[in-house]
Chain A
Amino acid sequence: MYVNKLLFSIMLCCIASVAAATPTIQHWQSATGARVLFVEDHDIPMLDVAVSFASGSAFDKSGKPGVAKLTHELLDLGAGDLNEDQISTGMADLGAQLSGSFDQDRASVSLRTLSTERDSALSIMARVLQYPVFSESILMREKTRLIAGLKEAETKPELIADKAFNKAVFGSHPYASSLSGEISSLETITAQDLKDFYQLHYQRAVVAIMGDVTRVQAEAIAVQLTRYLPAYTEQSSLPAVVMQIQSSEQRIFHPATQSHILTGTPGMSRKDPDYFPLYVGNYILGGGGFVSRLMNEVREKRGLAYSVYSYFMPLKQTGAFQIGLQTKKEQANEALALVEKTLADFVAKGPTEKELIAAKQNIIGGFPLRIDSNKKILDYLSIIGFYELPLTYLDDFADNIAHVTTTQIHSAFSRHIHPGAMATVIVGAPEPISGPVGAQNQ
């Protein structure tokens, strides 16, 4: 492939007009304390709303992992005068869709509704957010289901690997915990735990609104959804993640035909000053679909795996950097050695200029695909609001990518990623291990 710098600068000119087409984000602090981000768009007669709270699994008290997840689960299983069936049939009758998402940092509730049914749908959503009942009998039922799911997860090689990986990378930090808690802790959780958690962690909302309403309507919606949230009290923030970890390798028995291999370390936070160099560098290393170094070495050249990737999971505090792949047991050691060598080379030398240009072409040239639907824009509004990123995040995105240099990537990787100090987990390890045994830590 022949690409010269002149061509690249021409492309950047074209990109400028693309960047100008980013949606206009309106932003305000509601009288209720909620941070609101709004994009007005009347093309389709529908509305998307997402309300986020700093109430992910990292806020679980020690000894009670699972409370955060269950609190989020039970929001729409009884609220105000509506029971769980009235909530779901109420939404379905309107053709509206209520959904949620949950991770270490954030719990959110989202609504998609037709414009014609907007008021009725928002009225149900307002109750779900502000008057959840947390019934003891429903909690019992959901705990049982969650425990069943956790037991099932303990038989799945990819989930066993995830769990062991997070423990190895995050140690005693709350990010080490499983999102759904532990079987033993779930059994002790009461409805009062959920009510307490809700009072403490559902105070300040970030409201993202995208679609067919006016500014005045959006302001009223934000108030309607957050006015009766629990009163604001000062919260302690999450502890910092210990960045430098000990090298470790766990080989865990599993009868699967493949080994599931994860290797990684603490990576970066959402506001890390190295965010863009790490982001672009990761594209080159293992983020860029079929054209990354890892894909080329592991899959294209040698056929060792169907899927091989690397990613940074940027969170409020430092989230994980992870490389993952699956390969048949007999070649697991070979594949892992190849991954380690590819990573070590990349960290030692950084990317080439040619690789950087190709990465920029893809990330900048593909920017319009990131904001080509209401749903995608809504997700950006939530992220920008929740992590307090600049409101110009989308406008500046292409420029931020364009300014990254090979030197910056090399420097950022060598400071963040230490190939000699990685946590490695192999589930379905090649060596047969007789009988039930514990993990082998090195």
Chain B
Amino acid sequence: MRIYLFATALLAVMLSPSVYAGVFELTLANGLKVIVKEDHRAPVVVQQIWYKAGSMDEHTGKTGVAHVLEHLMFKGTRGVPAGEFSRRIAAAGGRENAFTSNDYTAYFQQLHKSQLPLAMKLESDRMHNLNLTAGEFSKEIKVVMEERRMRTDDDSHALLQEKLMGAAYLEHPYQHPVIGWMSDLEQMTVQDARSWYQQWYAPDNATLVIAGDVYHAQVFELAQRYYGNIPKKGQSARRLFSEPVQLGIKRMVVKAPAELPLLVMSYHAPNIVDPLHDWKPYALEMLAGVLSSTDSARLNKHLVREQQLASSVGASYDSTSRGPGLFSLEAVPSAGQSVAQMEIALRAEIAGLIKNGVGADELKRVKAQVLAGEVYKLDSVFYQAMQIGQMESIGVGYKAIPLMLEKLQAVTTEQLVQVASEFLQDDNLIVAVLDPQPLSGKAMQPAGEANHVR
């Protein structure tokens, strides 16, 4: 579920100066920013192109179009027929895919370093030559609907998350799911995809990240050759959204087929806007770590191990996004425990933390994990490229990465208490509960019965 993705992103965001070394950048005349991370450990390379357009840039009634376009980017250009992009990358020994988030859309290929020119040729081609046909659209929109059924409609936790986001954000477009609402998908046309492509796919709205066994001067030359002639479109100022202050607790229930209930408590929380002067987002990152970075962190130790009220529990927060964030607690109650008891227990954890403070050892432990993570990250070229692309796409910039690491290391226990008491309060809270429904619509069979078939 999405919340877990946030949790992994949490400790993943930060880079050390050592990782920052070996990064080179150049902006082409057409506005394309090219960033190269040299890493010569293995003869491989990754190309990632990041477009600053995600589901938050969509309008009501057209949700899901960013992601649909991502699918259609594999459906051919004037010179490369449908399916041929994937076939050529495969024939070069490559792996490829793409992903769309609230904030951005990105495409990548991993290959032997000798195949970089091929990947750049193909990727630059579809930046401006995409051939969007009604025929390909009509097939692919069905694929996307199947994806929505699989990932959301038939997954109770994902469904809860989708409805929680819809309730948490009134004005901000984070209220809409990345995959799009089904009725929007049903009414979408190839012209919607075309307009999206024309508006956002341009060198001056993209970041190209190349990482691996390459030399930056050569990469810049290749970038100029393949991407340099694509005309810029000139990006107009973006509509800025804020989220009106929530004036009181919101509660919601989602009924869906499941066995176990799930409680999610999400509090509105800021994201990093000014990496140098902000301090609260860093404190919130460390707070999530103190609460749930290990099995012996507060939430699991107290609620799963000691009191045995929960079957699982976690805290999550992502400081790095284009729009306003959420700090979330979630728990699956143990058999026999109610969701209400679970909520009381989670609230008691937060109240206890605010009243009694946080041990220096707890915070130090999270910092040690963050620091070690900086070294472990060197084992993945792909991941290093991901961080650079993500930081560029949300507007913070990759150069802030070492600074962010320093800021995290500078967080104090007092600051943890301060952000907990400022943000983790009722007026700011959305409580979402999954109310499990039997599959048959009838009462569930008693536990322990062997026949699970209904």
Contact = CB atoms under 8 A, between A and B. Distances in A.
B43 A368 contact: yes
Interface string A316-341: 00000000001110000000000000
Interface in B79-109: 82-84, 86-88, 90-96
Contacts of B454: 253-254, 436-437
B376 A46 contact: yes
A368 B306 CA distance: 47
A300 B83 contact: yes
Interface in B362-380: 364-366, 368-369, 371-373, 375-376, 378-380
Interface stretch (B23-31, B340-348, B412-420, B441-449): B441-449
A163 B453 CA distance: 11
Query: Which of A152, A252, A258, A296 gathers the greatest number of chain B CB atoms within 10 Å?
Result: A152
Using C-beta atoms within 8 Å of the partner chain, give the interface range for chain A. Answer: 35 or more
B84 A304 contact: no
B20 to A, nearest CB: 16
Contacts of A157: 154
Nearest to A152: B259
A95 B369 contact: yes
A216 interface: no
B200 to A, nearest CB: 23
A93 B368 contact: yes
A382 B378 CA distance: 22
Query: Which of B90, B94, B115, B301 gathers the greatest number of chain A CB atoms within 10 Å?
Result: B90
Contacts of A439: 453
Contacts of A154: 259, 452
Query: Which of B143, B373, B381 gathers the greatest number of chain A CB atoms within 10 Å?
Result: B143
Interface stretch (B2-10, B144-152, B268-276): B144-152
Contacts of A361: 90-93
Given A95-B373, A151-B260, A303-B142, A375 B95 contact: no
A44 B379 contact: yes
Contacts of A299: 143
A-B CB proximity, top 5 nearest:
A365-B93, A95-B372, A303-B142, A366-B93, A372-B42
Interface of A: 1, 3, 14, 18, 21, 43-46, 84-85, 88-89, 91-97, 112, 114, 117, 141, 144-145, 147-149, 151-152, 154-155, 157, 160, 163, 182-184, 187, 252-258, 288-291, 296, 299-307, 326-328, 358, 361-369, 371-375, 428, 435-439
Interface of B: 41-44, 74, 82-84, 86-88, 90-96, 110-112, 114-115, 138-147, 149-150, 153-154, 257-260, 293-296, 301, 304-305, 308, 311-312, 332, 334-335, 361, 364-366, 368-369, 371-373, 375-376, 378-381, 436, 439-442, 445, 447-448, 450-454
5 contacts: A147-B335, A257-B153, A291-B90, A303-B146, A304-B146
